[in-house]
Amino acid sequence: MASGSPSLLEEELTCPVCSEIFRDPVVLSCSHSFCKACLQQYWDQKGSLECPVCRKRYSKQHPPINLSLRNTCEAFLKERSQRAKAGSEVLCSLHSEKLKVFCLEDQIPICVICQISKKHENHKMRPVQEAAEKYKEKLRTALAPLQEKLKAFNAVKLICDQTAEDIKSQAQHTERQIKMEFEKLQQFLKDEEAARITALREEEEQKSQMMKEKIEKMTEEISSLSEQIRALEQEVGAEDISFLQSYKDTQNRAQCTLGDPEKVPGALIDVAKHLGNLKYRVWEKMLGTVQYTPVTLYPNTAYPNLSLSEDLTSVRRSDEGQQVPDNPERFDWGWWVLGSEGFSSGRHCWDVEVGGKFWRVGVVKESITRKGGVYESPAGGVWSVMMCDGEYTALTSPLTCLTVQRDLQRVRVQLDWDRGEVSFSDPSDNTPLYTFKHSFTEKLFPIFCPLETVRIC
């Protein structure tokens, strides 16, 4: 292989098919060499095994590798790469010339020799600087939404990191509350056990004392009766004259003044009183110490400035916002908190103890917007009544003023999902306040909005 100037050498190392430096060159018997992939593609297109240069036909489909040519090409490419690195500019890998134009079809920078080559014939070209400015601007435009997306991902990741910490905190707090509640139940059972053991011991002591006194009395009577019998037996064994002389007195002593001995009824422990239905009676008594509410609050939905009770049955406004996660379920408007259970069928009822200058109670659809607010009416998925500065209103469109004879202390909410009704009334005398009618299509949740405190009864 000749080793003249780089340009002459490069021409000798160029594949006649692709006009680039040989890649895995193979040689035909006619001495023409080609890239292995180029020759195979040419044969596939022609449908016959012939030399692309001299058109000589061949019977072998797998020509041998031209090892000498491959080694020369690799050495040439390595040397050119080193020359390019040593220079201040990137040079054409084929011609070692400066890259001055950009081929729009192939999307690569090329030199002026490549520009006039067959490979780039009729291709649209632009100066490198002009093409670079155009594509940099295009890339900057594409980069902007990616940067915004990255910001969004980082923001959500921060929220997720905080949520992970909140999960641990919630779990720890809830675990403490569970333990406290069970400790109360366990203490109740311990106290109840102690009280019942005490009652058993008292009955045991009372009846044992009674039996002790009974036994002592009977012992005295037995002793007296035994002494009387011994005396009479002695009289019976006396001489006849002596016996008859004292018989009159003896006969009086022979009279028994004691009544018949009686067994003591009810002396045994009343086991049935202590054990009969014991678990049920303890459970029934336990029910008197706990309160059941048909609805409890769902903390994960509460507006940050709402404070919920530990038993999740009451809520009040707080002057300072709570440190709570900004999770998707939580309202960032409306001062609302939802009930923990939604309803998609059947009839449901709960009473709400209300007070203060403002409150709102009712139901909302499950899909209600939690961020940004909605129009608070049936059209927005809200069915509720409210009191503001002594004025009672049903949140219809337009608003409906309600006539109330006296200030409400409690409001009863009755939901009949199947019939499509939400009714509000005064539970003290069952006076109706307002009834919404609507064909419900999704789950409904109780909703509470206080100024001071509202409590579920």
The tokens describing 315, both together, are 């809520």
| SS3 state of residue 450 | strand
Strands (E), 268-334: 306-308, 314-317
* Same domain flag for 327 and 445: yes
* Same domain flag for 425 and 330: yes
- Whether residue 2 is predicted with pLDDT greater than 50 in this model: the reply is no
What's the 3-state SS for 371-425? CCCCCCCHHHCEEEEEEECCEEEECCCCCEECCCCCCCCEEEEEEECCCCEEEEE
Mean pLDDT of 88-104: 83
Mean pLDDT of 274-284: 91
**Torsion sign across C-alpha atoms 142, 143, 144, 149:** positive
* Same domain flag for 146 and 269: yes
* Same domain flag for 26 and 139: no
The Cα–Cα gap between 322 and 169 comes to 14
Q: In angstroms, what CA-CA distances link 359 with 87, 233, 253, 334, 456?
A: 79, 99, 94, 11, 13
* Same domain flag for 252 and 194: yes
* Same domain flag for 280 and 306: no
Residue 19's closest CA among 142, 121, 98, 155? 121
| Higher pLDDT, residue 328 or 374 | 328
Structural domains in the chain (count): 3
pLDDT at 13: 87
Element (H, E) at 226: helix 128-236
Is residue 364 a contact partner of residue 383, using CB atoms and an 8 Å limit?
A: yes
Which domain range does residue 14 map to?
Answer: 1-87
| Higher pLDDT, residue 248 or 345 | 345
* Same domain flag for 32 and 139: no
* Same domain flag for 388 and 445: yes
Q: What is the pLDDT of residues 345-369, one digit of tens each?
A: 999 999 999 988 899 999 999 999 9
pTM: 0.58
pLDDT at 7: 56
* Same domain flag for 277 and 327: no
* Same domain flag for 449 and 376: yes
The Cα–Cα gap between 185 and 206 comes to 31
Is residue 411 a contact partner of residue 428, using CB atoms and an 8 Å limit?
A: no
Give a yes or no: residue 127 inside a domain. no
pLDDT at 86: 61
| Higher pLDDT, residue 277 or 96 | 277
| Higher pLDDT, residue 442 or 11 | 442
Q: What is the pLDDT of residues 16-59, one digit of tens each?
A: 888 888 999 999 989 899 999 999 999 988 888 899 999 888 87
pLDDT at 251: 78
pLDDT at 38: 92
* Same domain flag for 198 and 266: yes
The Cα–Cα gap between 184 and 114 comes to 89
Q: What is the pLDDT of residues 404-454, one digit of tens each?
A: 988 999 999 999 999 999 999 999 999 999 999 999 999 999 999 998 899
pLDDT at 3: 43
Q: What is the pLDDT of residues 189-207, one digit of tens each?
A: 999 999 999 999 999 999 9
**pLDDT above 90: percentage of residues in the chain:** 52
Residue 6: pLDDT band (50, 70, 90) is: low
- Whether residue 128 is predicted with pLDDT greater than 70 in this model: the reply is yes
The Cα–Cα gap between 203 and 401 comes to 66
* Same domain flag for 345 and 375: yes
